[in-house]
């Protein structure tokens, strides 16, 4: 199981800070790498550059991925390479001495592609590279390095031959066991010297641990597959198809083994010092990125009790985007979290009014209740805002705070232009919240008398008739 985000325990970490060892998920570090300076996010806490660990952290253990390796070999890139090998094998039968050059060229291409598979998978790219990706002009150099490795291994074997047959046998076993490590080191470091350094190879096996020996067994078995499969079909196919089929199978299974080597490096990516390849994603639009980054940083800074920094971060973005609902809500939550009574008293009503004006009266009502629970009922001076909050609270069935907001509105602001609607709302609150139908009917009668041309008169009469019918239906 991978490491979890430090701030969202249900999410896997995607970024890690080497400075303070903090893990972050995608919600903590929003957007793509392109949204950040030099395409690398920085730690919110210590400002050091983050390392992408998403692919390695989410990687399953090597032994659970057997189907993946064989599917990988059936991708477009690997099948193209295998088909090329089959065509080259078929062509070599009629080229005479020229077939040697065809063989060497094909082998160089296959080696380059296999090393590229190891490199890309180790970096976190789970999709197989295309055939074109391997045509980077390095095939000859890679082939030369592989030949050099073979010559070095052979030379060392000849030197050990003088020590007796036992020494040669031990050396042969060691070569077999370290062959996967040598190919991986060559793929990752592009250095023949490193790939033939016994200490380097031993260090690599120690970093991988016991799964390396499972890798060795798996690659040995898969590499032997063509030798077992070909006899099964040899008698059923024409003779001219056998060599191309052998070339195709050998190439396919070599790519499968390379996928195994690359994936086991992915599971130990950080320990091996492999640079993760960050997936190319569309960057967020600048305003949206700044908004999401401010929201994420505020959560992190509040969790670390760095309240002043959190507030400064949020205020800076709010100045640019004052009408964003999430930013305004987060600001109220921040004031509550820091128990800033003065700011809540002075800014709270303004922030609630802004949310109401943004057609989020329900959100304003929720925050009103949160402020009330923390600081007591906030003083709301504007009659319209009191009315709108009370209506939202009524719909949320918070009748007591709704009543407190609107009960004396007609006394405190007798010139309020929507008193008829306020009286209607008060009648509903008494009826639904407190079962005081007597108060409700008095209020409805007052509206009909006081506001004969009111736009809510139809609703008032309808509600009044319902209450009258209920009263008549009650037993005497």
- DSSP per-residue string spanning 166-204: HHHHHHHHHHHHHHHHHHHHHHHH--HHHHT-HHHHHHH
Q: Other C-beta atoms within 10 Å of 144: how many?
A: 12
| C-alpha triplet 312, 316, 321: angle, nearest 5° | 140
Collapse the DSSP code of 102 into the 3-class scheme (helix H, G, I; strand E, B; otherwise coil) and give the result. Answer: helix
% of the chain surpassing 90 pLDDT: 54
CB 12 within 8 A of CB 54: yes
Find tokens 């709704």 and name the residue.
Answer: 402
Residue 38: count of CB within 10 angstroms of its CB: 8
What sign has the CA pseudo-torsion 182, 183, 185, 186? positive
Q: Give the CB-side neighbour count of residue 309, counting CA atoms within 13 A.
A: 14
Mean pLDDT of 132-145: 84
How far, in Å, CA of 412 to CA of 422, rounded?
13
pLDDT tens column, 377-413? 778 889 999 999 999 999 999 999 999 999 988 889 9
Domains belonging to the chain, first-starting first, are 15-52 (no CATH), 62-272 (no CATH), 287-473 (1.25.40.10)
**Which ranges constitute the DSSP H helices of 76-163?**
76-92, 98-123, 139-161
- β-bridge partners, 15: 24, 52
Residue 278 has a pLDDT of: 65
pLDDT at 392: 95
CB atoms within 10 A of CB 441: 18
Between 277 and 300, the higher pLDDT residue: 300
The answer to which of 16-30, 107-121, 273-287, 359-373 has the lowest mean pLDDT is 273-287
The pLDDT of residue 356 is above 80 = yes
Would you place residue 222 in the very low, low, confident or very high pLDDT band (cuts 50, 70, 90)? very high
pLDDT over 80 (residue 279)? no
Q: At 16, give phi and psi (nearest 5°).
A: -135, 140
């Amino acid at each position: 199981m991978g490491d979890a985000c430090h701030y969202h325990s249900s999410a896997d970490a995607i970024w890690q800070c080497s400075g303070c060892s903090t893990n972050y998920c995608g919600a903590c570090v929003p957007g793509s790498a392109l949204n950040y300076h030099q395409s690398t996010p920085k730690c919110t806490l210590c400002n050091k550059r983050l390392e992408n660990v998403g692919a390695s952290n989410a990687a399953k253990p090597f032994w659970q991925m057997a189907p993946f390796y064989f599917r990988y070999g059936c991708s477009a890139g690997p099948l193209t390479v295998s088909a090329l090998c089959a065509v080259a094998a078929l062509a070599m039968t009629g080229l005479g001495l020229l077939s040697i050059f065809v063989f060497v060229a094909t082998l160089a291409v296959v080696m380059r592609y296999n090393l590229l598979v190891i490199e890309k998978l180790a970096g976190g790219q789970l999709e197989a590279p295309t055939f074109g990706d391997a045509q980077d002009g390095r095939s000859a150099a890679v082939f030369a390095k592989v030949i050099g490795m073979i010559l070095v291994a052979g030379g060392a074997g000849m030197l050990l031959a003088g020590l007796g047959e036992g020494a040669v046998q031990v050396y042969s076993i060691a070569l077999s066991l370290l062959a996967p490590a040598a190919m991986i080191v060559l793929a990752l470091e592009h250095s023949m010297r490193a790939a033939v350094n016994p200490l380097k190879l031993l260090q690599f096996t120690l970093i991988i641990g016991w799964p390396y020996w499972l890798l060795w067994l798996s690659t040995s078995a898969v590499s032997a597959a063509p030798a077992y499969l070909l006899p099964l079909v040899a008698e059923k196919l024409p003779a001219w198809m056998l060599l191309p089929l052998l070339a195709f199978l050998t190439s396919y299974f070599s790519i499968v083994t390379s996928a195994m080597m690359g994936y086991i490096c992915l599971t130990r990516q950080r320990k091996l010092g492999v640079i993760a390849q960050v997936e190319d994603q569309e960057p967020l639009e600048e305003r949206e990125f700044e908004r999401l980054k401010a929201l994420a940083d505020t959560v992190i800074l509040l969790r670390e009790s760095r309240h002043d920094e959190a507030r400064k971060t949020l205020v800076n973005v709010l100045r640019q985007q004052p009408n964003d609902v999430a930013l305004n809500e987060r600001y109220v939550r921040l004031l509550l979290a820091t128990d800033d009574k003065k700011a809540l008293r002075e800014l709270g009503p303004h922030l609630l009014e802004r949310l109401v004006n943004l057609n989020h009266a329900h959100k304003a009502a929720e925050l009103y209740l949160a402020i009330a629970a923390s600081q007591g009922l906030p003083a709301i001076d504007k009659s319209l805002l009191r009315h709108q909050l009370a209506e939202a609270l009524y719909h949320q069935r918070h009748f007591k705070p709704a009543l407190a907001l609107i009960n004396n509105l007609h006394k405190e602001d007798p010139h309020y232009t929507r008193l008829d609607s306020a009286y209607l709302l008060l009648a509903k609150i008494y009826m639904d919240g407190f079962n005081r139908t007597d108060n409700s009917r008095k209020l409805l009668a007052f509206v009909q008398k006081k506001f004969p041309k009111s736009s809510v008169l139809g609703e008032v009469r309808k509600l009044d008739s319902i209450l009258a019918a209920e009263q008549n239906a009650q037993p005497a």
